[in-house]
Structure 1
């Protein structure tokens, strides 16, 4: 099993500090270990501050929101629950199992049969690349606030299924939070427990993960020194402290992104899972061999790479695959603006390709990466506390992987720009000349990636800079502009300072206040208020909320009657309500 020498740890620290400075991210906590008991953990910071300096005493106990890595635990929760149902006495299990499958079918039958011509299965729920299309811009506002309730989500699933017909190559399948949300609601339904409590009792408590938080009350009582503050970094590189995401179980998105944890607790889970994958008699661990195999087994093969698949636990691929870091925000931006974050690592020093299980997580203010090296019983965890100009958890975790698997001598052949691997000329070269391998200059990749992110953000800034149009036509009236199909509205108010302000609303909550400015007589934009910058926007502006433009609709008297927002595969039409009622109370429950 690989381990890091002291000199390698120092190189990681030096390079990681540069990456943090490039990103504008204050800190990144890392933990590397294996099943033999070797471990190295530290918290790397871009500069000194007033926080406690003892990394080994506090850094690995500091909590961060782990975003989409939450889905790994929800998937394991589903596996545990189905096993518990199977162990139920008498005829209870067949009945409950039938109802479980019927619940999935009730919400996914149409879209799965239309897309894949088969019946839906659990894999269509616990997967990013199938099942429901992306609905983040209906679930979350441009600032990351949760907009809709659990009941409204179920209604939304039905409507989106009817309205949006993506092809297999469509970007609408880019990722799928909705499937995991549905899985969380199913767990609550059939366990008769809140999802957070079910995970705590059946997974976190048995593993000793006592600094993993699944409810607001417990997290509020956690001492401040064990909480890492969330930040958003402006295009200039300045980090701003923002309100930490509140995605606990009373919100619909908890199953997709709501857990707070620390590197120590994630190390407990990773080490136990890797140990459980070794065949042999199960001990008393909650992570049995059967459960571990179910979590890590390939479910959905990627079309363009037969060695890469999606599992319930994340993306299963190879150390030298282009899918490494696939869930990172770096890749979303790189796909739009270039390829500097899509670099590939080399195979290990023997020319072998190591089997990797990877998951990443991004929410507004935090980014994280989790790697399980299945061939070597080794894991790498990186948690950072900012939506930076690059995702430092992605770059730093790959920096660690490179140090683990390539010898020091390869540093003389660093590649700073290219992102494709050099092909070996012969098998003999692979076997006898591992020095022909090279290391990627990951610091340089981060530097170039930050430039990509700035260019991406400039699109919004250009719109804002142009939004100084003074129209001679009537401005929008105060009131609620609502699209009842997608259960979303825009509430417009007049303001003496800002002119017009707007809130994006659902039946659960509303976004922060945005300034409504005008690019032309026919186009408005949701922009930061006059004393704010782009740091008020959430991470979803890089995906579903990638356009904040609104087309203005007018009647024959030129009065504004509504707005249209274009999004993948459909448009959202907000119409002025004559009565300023809230969104419809219409709800839907699980079908049985």
Structure 2
């Protein structure tokens, strides 16, 4: 058995843990350099007709779109049509005073302070009330905001509103639609023939139907609406093959000079390792010592993950037609299979009882981030710490924590997630940082 067939067998085993032959599935492409090592699909593209999923099926890639938007902005800047540090007010002169404080760079790096339009209330209006929205509606809503959540550039907080505005700015600066600009300047030059910008509720040809999990074994067809497709925050539709072409382009000067592209990966606060390392629609981090540039995406019925392990010239593309399949875990298992010998070993530490008990309690975000919470409990049975992560009071993840030092705990090996407990000036545990490959969320102990 060759190394390549061994890898394919191992990928089959990994995907079997997440995908049923009777349900929605996942398309996988793993490549090194320009060579494809694994290209397969698992599960069904349409459950009702039991149509198998193929590797050439199209999917909405959600927020993986944001790096394409970042490239468009870099191209326009390179052509002298806009500047990273000019204010949003240039393009939206009727916006409130805060538009003079927010620059294009702040939008790209998610440090604008703008509230996210994509809330539970938004999805409730779409799925339960049957309301429809246009890009103009979203922009009008953003323009109606009386204040920002924080001073631009002082903090990082993910907001899809930033990229909806960027899409409109690209159209104003380029004098054409975002779809036309991307096709002419990115998709066509790279040969991405099966990629397009979704602009309507009309499902393109060769598109996998999207599904949502109601439970671990039950799922339902997701609606395919203009709101599900989204706008510049997530409306690119693509395939694993085309995303592999896109990933390869970052190691050449095909679209832009390499020195220009390098700016896209500079995090908003490069000198502070306690901040999320977000650039222009991409996150740069390390997976146990191995450099990874990545971004995920999700919308109703679809899920996407694109990761480039740049030092190893390794690309992993995962696209799913089910919201809820753990692509981050699949990615982690594939990465460990291929790069485990290059990763920093995890060595558990033995801690006394009191060093565990001091971590127990509830941790919450600041008032503006109050949707996220973490409960840490000591289990008498296992004599270990367990943690439950909540968002909007809904359980997201359960962790059995493994101590690596007094204040650093492994939460999830597959997703390379850690909890780093933070102390105040007196040495008392005062908060926790949830860390995962360049993404960092800080919560305070309450």
TM range (shorter): 0.5 to 0.7
SS in 2 for 1:311: coil
Q: Does 2:25 align with 1:30?
A: no
Give the structure with the larger helix fraction: 1
Change (3 A) 1:439 1:111: closer
Q: Does 2:235 align with 1:237?
A: no
Provide the C-alpha distance between the structure 1 equivalents of 2:283 and 2:403, rounded to a whole number of angstroms.
21
Report the equivalent of 1:427. Answer: none
SS in 1 for 2:226: coil
Report the equivalent of 1:288. Answer: 257
Provide the C-alpha distance between the structure 2 equivalents of 1:101 and 1:216, rounded to a whole number of angstroms.
24
Q: Deviations over 1:423-474 (max 9, x none)?
A: 69xxxxxxxxxxxxx997759x9xxxxxxxxxxxxxxxxxxxxxxxxxxxxx
Provide the C-alpha distance between the structure 2 equivalents of 1:97 and 1:371, rounded to a whole number of angstroms.
25
Change (3 A) 1:46 1:156: closer
Provide the C-alpha distance between the structure 1 equivalents of 2:305 and 2:178, rounded to a whole number of angstroms.
23
Provide the C-alpha distance between the structure 1 equivalents of 2:50 and 2:264, rounded to a whole number of angstroms.
38
Pick from 159, 181, 204 the counterpart of residue 198 of structure 1.
181
Change (3 A) 1:239 1:310: same
Report the equivalent of 2:56. Answer: 61
Q: Deviations over 1:284-319 (max 9, x none)?
A: x2243134213222234596626x511103111111
Change (3 A) 1:136 1:48: closer
Change (3 A) 1:271 1:47: closer
Q: Deviations over 1:529-558 (max 9, x none)?
A: xxxxxxxxxxxxxxxxxxxxxxxxxxxxxx
RMSD: 4.4
Provide the C-alpha distance between the structure 1 equivalents of 2:135 and 2:45, rounded to a whole number of angstroms.
42
Report the equivalent of 1:466. Answer: none
Provide the C-alpha distance between the structure 1 equivalents of 2:165 and 2:45, rounded to a whole number of angstroms.
42
Change (3 A) 1:181 1:139: farther
Alignment of 1:462-541 (within 5 A): none
Aligned-pair distance for 1:166?
4.8
Q: Deviations over 1:335-385 (max 9, x none)?
A: xxxxxxxxxxxx3xxxxx111111010100011111111222211111111
Mark the runs of 5 or more structure 2 residues left unpaired by the alignment: 349-397, 418-446
Pick from 100, 103, 106 the counterpart of residue 90 of structure 2.
103
Change (3 A) 1:99 1:51: same
Conserved? CA contact 2:89–2:95, under 8 Å: no
Provide the C-alpha distance between the structure 2 equivalents of 1:423 and 1:36, rounded to a whole number of angstroms.
40
For normalisation by structure 2, the TM-score amounts to 0.68
Alignment of 1:434-453 (within 5 A): 442=414
Report the equivalent of 1:262. Answer: 239
Conserved? CA contact 1:229–1:385, under 8 Å: yes
Change (3 A) 1:260 1:5: same
Aligned-pair distance for 1:240?
1.3
Report the equivalent of 2:104. Answer: 122
Pick from 148, 154, 169 the counterpart of residue 186 of structure 1.
169
Provide the C-alpha distance between the structure 2 equivalents of 1:202 and 1:100, rounded to a whole number of angstroms.
25
Q: Deviations over 1:255-285 (max 9, x none)?
A: 0111110100000000121x22xxxxx4xx2
Conserved? CA contact 1:138–1:147, under 8 Å: no
Alignment of 1:209-220 (within 5 A): 209-216=192-199, 220=203
Q: Does 2:9 align with 1:14?
A: no
SS in 2 for 1:39: strand
Q: Deviations over 1:30-51 (max 9, x none)?
A: 1111215253211123899766
Q: Does 2:332 align with 1:398?
A: yes
Pick from 105, 109, 115 the counterpart of residue 133 of structure 1.
115
How many residues were matched structurally? 360
Determine which structure has more spread, i.e. the larger CA radius of gyration: 1
Mark the runs of 5 or more structure 1 residues left unpaired by the alignment: 87-92, 114-118, 277-281, 320-346, 348-352, 425-437, 446-592
Provide the C-alpha distance between the structure 2 equivalents of 1:153 and 1:404, rounded to a whole number of angstroms.
42
Aligned-pair distance for 1:67?
0.6
Conserved? CA contact 1:4–1:404, under 8 Å: no
Provide the C-alpha distance between the structure 2 equivalents of 1:157 and 1:18, rounded to a whole number of angstroms.
41
Change (3 A) 1:263 1:236: closer
Report the equivalent of 1:323. Answer: none
Q: Does 2:268 align with 1:299?
A: yes
Conserved? CA contact 2:84–2:104, under 8 Å: no
SS in 2 for 1:232: strand
Alignment of 1:272-351 (within 5 A): 272-273=249-250, 275-276=251-252, 282=253, 285-301=254-270, 305=274, 308-319=276-287, 347=288
Aligned-pair distance for 1:418?
3.9
Provide the C-alpha distance between the structure 1 equivalents of 2:306 and 2:11, rounded to a whole number of angstroms.
17
Give the structure with the larger strand fraction: 2
SS in 2 for 1:228: coil
Compare relative contact order (CA 8 Å, sep 6+) and give the higher one, 1 or 2: 1
Change (3 A) 1:375 1:4: farther
SS in 1 for 2:285: strand
Change (3 A) 1:234 1:38: closer
Change (3 A) 1:72 1:47: closer
Provide the C-alpha distance between the structure 2 equivalents of 1:6 and 1:404, rounded to a whole number of angstroms.
13
Report the equivalent of 1:365. Answer: 301
